[in-house]
Structures are given as structure tokens and as C-alpha cells.
Chain A
């Protein structure tokens, strides 16, 4: 016997389902470790996890071992990438190895078969009809058509044979599926090589021409400028649960505003292939006292005007001698049991402003006006002080992404869906119907094969037989 060459052996190894199983298992097992060890986290966090699982004595040692092996960022480690490459090679070789055989099955023309062969088929049915083949032929073809098969006819000794195959190309569905996985990988690789994953915290009113890389925190030029015009959070009812947060962004190129859009979670902005996602938000505490308060003053006859103020500024209700002075601001006002106001959160959850009101220079009263509670806007004199915004103290947290491979990934997702549909819901069916004379009657023999969903085909064939049976009864 000729000994196999090395290449043949490697080919056989990669063409085996066994290797596929080993790779499945390795990817799964290492991934499980990757879900237990928090990826790219602070080391203290994972040492704590490990000491919970294996005791404090071993935690540090185990951590060192795992870190050496790259488990702290394992999905980007060289050996995990090797596993993914092996997985891809396995898919390619497995497919190529089986392709010639499958292709033969797809291309194989269907022709008449002998009675003996038909009788050996896993699916077969027989029925005897009165009359010679030429007489019952039309009834048989009608029944086959009725069951949804078109067919080729051939004349043979003492009878006819009808045969039909359908869905031979459905055998290739599995190739579409496997190929799609490679397409998705290709898209992912393009994303890694030519894409960018970054973030940017942009205070209200600020402009930036860079974003910061998620991995290295290095700034990276965008090629244009982005400005946050405004940021706002809407809450559910009186709760502190955010319903929606929104940033109003402007893209500036060559000193001109070229694009404006408000974004929220699930609704990003894309410009020049770079996409900005609403991610988080926060308060810039050192700016807290320096924000701009925007109020709408409404006099008793309904006339209104908007004004911008800073802490310590005064304003006058138009057409009156009624004035207010901004004394204090709280981003999240609450009242304790003793009736004292205090700030309960580091976020701008309930902005409030404390105003001293005077008429003709004489102090009248003072109080808090809250942005989220319009009933605090109404003054006893019939004037209204609407709290529109406290601007310039919040930042919007944006995720910044550039991924030229994402469309290839989506394409792969579409084709994998098609491939799976073909693989699981379509089958290659072959059916033969042989009618032959037997003692002045006609024996009908049906044989069929399918690579999937045998039950459904059997039901169809039973339908042909029952149609013929009924026809027989009717003729009597």
C-alpha cells in the first residue's frame, strides 16, 4: 500500500467532522472561561472572582497563570484567533472535500428504473387498477399532477414510467450556510483592520475634532468637527428612570455647519462613514455654578420672552417692576423631613433654581423653581417663570465607530439565513411511478427518495394512491 503523503493526511484531518467537534469544544470551553473572567477589567476585580471560586490562597497565582495565557483579553489573544482560523480552514476543507459527491447528486439526471430497484426504495407504495395501462394512464398522470409533481414520461415494455425530481439544488444550502460564516469573518476582519472603535465625552457647547480609541485612549482625528449643541434627559413620570436621552449634534467642516441631527439611544448619527451613538451622559461638577440658566418669562397678559442668566444675575418680568435674582442652583433637588432642601444626586435629575423675588426693589418672597415641575413656575401675581434649561454643565457620552466591514457582515447574515432556510426547510425529492400490465389490470408502483422530511413526501405519495383508489371506486 502506498503511504499517504503529509498533505493528504492534513487534508483528511481538516476534512473530518471529529476535528470540527474538537474546535467547537475548544472555542466553547475557552469562551466559558472568558465569560467568567471579566475581560479587560481591573486586575483586582478578577482576583476577587478567582478567590471566590478557588480560595484566596490560589487566587493570585491563578491570576498570573491566566494572565500569561492571555485570558484577561482572550477574544483578542493569538491562540483564540488561531482557533477561529482553524475553524475557518475546517469549514473550507470540509466543504471542498464533500463538494464533488454532493455536486454529482445535484447534477445526476433522473431516469427510469427497474421494478426491482424501485421495490428496494425506503418509500414505496403499490396499487392495482382495473384496465390496461393505456386506459388508466391519464388517471395516473392526473393524480401525480394533483399532488404537485410535474414529470417526465417514458414508454417501456407493457407500460409507462413517470419520474420527477425537485430541489436538487437544495443540497447546496449547507454550502451557502458555511460560506456565509466565512463572509461574516471576512467582514469582521475588515472591521478590525480598517475600522475604529472610540468614544468621546462632549460637554454642551463644546467642539471636538478627535475621538479617543477604546483600547489605547489615544486621540484620533475625525476629519471634521463635531459640536454638542444641547443635551437633555426625559424621565418617566416623577421617577428618576430615564425615558430618553438626546443630544443635538452639529457637524462642522471647513468652518461651515454641514449637518445637524439629534441622536438618542438606538438612533445614531452617521457622517463620512463615522457613526456617533448616544451612550451615556453626566454632569461636569466643576462647571456646575457656571452654567447658563434659560428662563421664559410670561407676564399676566401672556407676553413672553426668553432670557439667559448666570448665578447672581437679576431679571425683570417684561412690562412690570417685578424682578428676580438667581441665588442658588441644585442639579437634583429634594426636600428632607425637616423641610430643608438638599441635592440628592450627582446627576442632573431634578434641576432647580432658587430665586429671590422683589417688587420695585422691595423683597417679597423667595423659592425654588423646578424644571420638571411646571406647577412651581406659577407666581401668585399671575406671572410665570418657566425653567427651560440649565445649559453647559452636562456632557454627552458618545461611542464613535467606523466599521467598513459591517455591510459584509450583514450580507453574510442574510445569506446564512437563506442557507439555513434551504438546509432545513427544502429537500431533494425524487419520485418514480411505474405502471405495468399485470393480468389485464395495471399495477402501479411508486418509489421515492428524499434527503429530508420523509414524512411530508410520504403524505404526498399517499395522496396519489388515495386519489387513484377513489377513482377506482368511482369507475365501478
Chain B
């Protein structure tokens, strides 16, 4: 059986689960809720099987042994693993907090991401690895980094939702902050989506990032297209700012208490931070020491990871020692994830260094 069959199955399951979660929120019948959870779990299991199968396919192809063949070496694989972590994180939250309201938010993201990966024609080819990537540390380093990224992305969404729910006035600093952040975020996602659909060539992530990303929009060689893209982004931001109350009403409808949002933001960071420290920074350093003989070389990727680490350390110290709660720390959580995205994509897009050969 091929892995893509199971990926397709999990895509359908997640989209189906989204519909059932919405029905559940409308009627509040517990059987419907259980069905939604069950469908999500089915999707998760088939995605797990798909990842294992792809792993095996890669191991058979590369002949490098199972441990070194983790399917985490290009954008296609890393996005799939990211979705997997996201669903896992959601399921944990559902069981811990006995709250299904997030399901209606998370499953569509997962389903759409998988469908998008499929539609965009992103290269599913299994590619050989350059020698530097052939290490047993690949699995631990990349997998743990991604688990941390997924945890941070959860804290980003709950932090943002917290700000949306907790702000009233349009001229309030935190209101402007969240509407602009969300606007940029959505505009960038749309721009990347257009790039992928437009180029459909995607060989390797670094090639895409270096040569194609934003080339249809913000970095287009033709000035009118460029201007239209930037203006569109401004319009998106304006619309979100103007109609923020609608978003707030939606979230309030979903019956999510701000305190739970604050707590999930904190818990995700409290789990993501140690995993990021160990898997991202320490394992990365050990691997670099083995491959190049330097555990830390102030390479842009390393430096940005450290900056990300500082952001979350700041969040944790602010919360634990100063007792900050609410909007103040939510803003830090949101900014922390901006640093995460820059570490993951921005460094490869704009800067060069050891990781520029396509490490993710």
C-alpha cells in the first residue's frame, strides 16, 4: 500500500471532522462530539500509518538504515509532520481540558494544509540526502524541533484568540497589534499559496524559498503587481481591523473561556520550550559538533533559534517571576511565534549559512 492513499484518507477524515465539530457546536449533543473526535482519531491514525509507510519507502530507497531515513527532509514531509503534531496537540488538549470547541478550528487547518500540499503539486519525490544530513541526529533534532514548533504554533493561535476576545476598542494598542499581526499572517499565507499554485515546480524547499517565494506577489519583477500585492495586504489588514468584532463574536460563540486560552498558551510554551532547548538547540549543537567540529558557530539559523529561545524565556520569566498574565504575555507569545517562523523559513529565504543547503 502506498503512503499517499493514507494521506488522502486522513485529509478526508480531517475535513469530515471539521463538519461534525461544527454540527456538534450547533447542537451540543455528546454523541455528535464523540463522533467528531473518533473521525479525527481515524484521520490521525491513517496519517501516522502514512508517515510510517513513507519512512519505510525512504529507508528502502536510500539504504541508509531506518533511523537515518526519517521522512523529515523536505518541505512536503516537514509540513505533513507539522500537521501531525498539530492534531496530536489538539487531541491532548481535547482530553485534558474536556473542550471540543477548538476542533472546529484545528481540523480545517489540518485538512486544508494536507489538501493544499496535495493540490499544489509539491514534490513528493523521495530525494537523496547530502552527506551532512546523513546522521542519526537528524531524527531527534528535526522531530523535536517540529514538535516544539507545533506547540509554539498552538500558543500563537490561543494567544491571538485571547487578544481577540479580550480587546474592545479599535484604537487600543493590543487590538491594533493582533489585527495587524493576523492580517500580515493571512496575507503571507495567501501569497505563499499563490506562489505554490503558480510555480508547481517545487523541487526542494530551499530552492522554492530562494527562487520562488513571494515572486508572484510581493517580490514580483513587475512594479504594478508588486504594488497591488502590498496594497492587498494593507486592505486585508484594514478589513480585519475594521471587522475584528465579528471574529470576537465567533470565538465567544464557540464558548471558549479566556482563562483557558491563557492557560493553553502557557502550557504549550511550557512544553515547547524544554523540547526546543533539548531537540532544537542542544541536539543541533551536538550534531554540528559531529559534522563540522563546532557546536556553535553563530550561523544565522543558530542565532535565530537563540533569539526564539530568548523570546520564550522572556515569556516564561515574565509570567513566573513578575506574575504577568493576560494581554501582556499573550503579545509576547504571538511575537515568539513570529521568531519561530523566521527561524524556519525566513533564515533560508533571506540569509545564508550552514543550514542553507536545505536543512529545515
Contacts and interface: CB of A to CB of B under 8 A. Distances in A.
A413 B271 contact: no
Contacts of A416: 277, 282
A161 B296 CA distance: 55
Contact of B307 (A21, A32, A266, A406): A32
A420 B273 contact: yes
Given A277-B291, A277-B292, A424-B274, A24 B314 contact: yes
B308 to A, nearest CB: 9
B282 A28 contact: no
Contacts of A197: 293-294
A445 to B, nearest CB: 26
A243 B307 contact: no
A409 interface: yes
Interface string A388-404: 00000000000111010
Contacts of B295: 406, 409
Contacts of A20: 317
B130 interface: yes
B128 interface: yes
Interface residues of B, number: 43
A159 interface: no
Contacts of B132: 265-266
Interface string A231-274: 00000100101111100000000000000000011111000000
Interface string B285-327: 1100111111110101001101100110110011001100000
Given A24-B313, A416-B282, A417-B278, A242 B271 contact: no
Contact of B293 (A75, A245, A399, A413): A399
B293 A236 contact: no
A28 B342 CA distance: 14
A321 interface: no
A275 B293 contact: yes
A34 interface: yes
A401 B298 CA distance: 17
Interface in A185-228: 188, 197
A31 B303 contact: yes
A35 B347 contact: yes
A455 B270 CA distance: 15
Contacts of A21: 314, 317-318
A83 to B, nearest CB: 12
Given A17-B318, A39-B298, A267-B290, 9 more contacts: A21-B314, A21-B317, A32-B303, A242-B130, A266-B132, A266-B135, A277-B292, A399-B293, A424-B270
19 contacts: A17-B321, A21-B318, A24-B313, A27-B310, A34-B298, A35-B347, A35-B351, A36-B351, A197-B294, A244-B131, A264-B131, A265-B132, A265-B291, A277-B291, A277-B292, A401-B294, A406-B289, A416-B277, A421-B274
Interface of A: 17, 20-21, 24, 27-28, 31-32, 34-36, 38-39, 75, 188, 197, 236, 239, 241-245, 264-268, 275, 277-279, 399-401, 403, 406, 409-410, 413, 416-417, 420-421, 423-425, 455
Interface of B: 96, 128, 130-132, 134-135, 270-271, 273-274, 277-278, 282, 285-286, 289-296, 298, 300, 303-304, 306-307, 310-311, 313-314, 317-318, 321-322, 347, 350-353
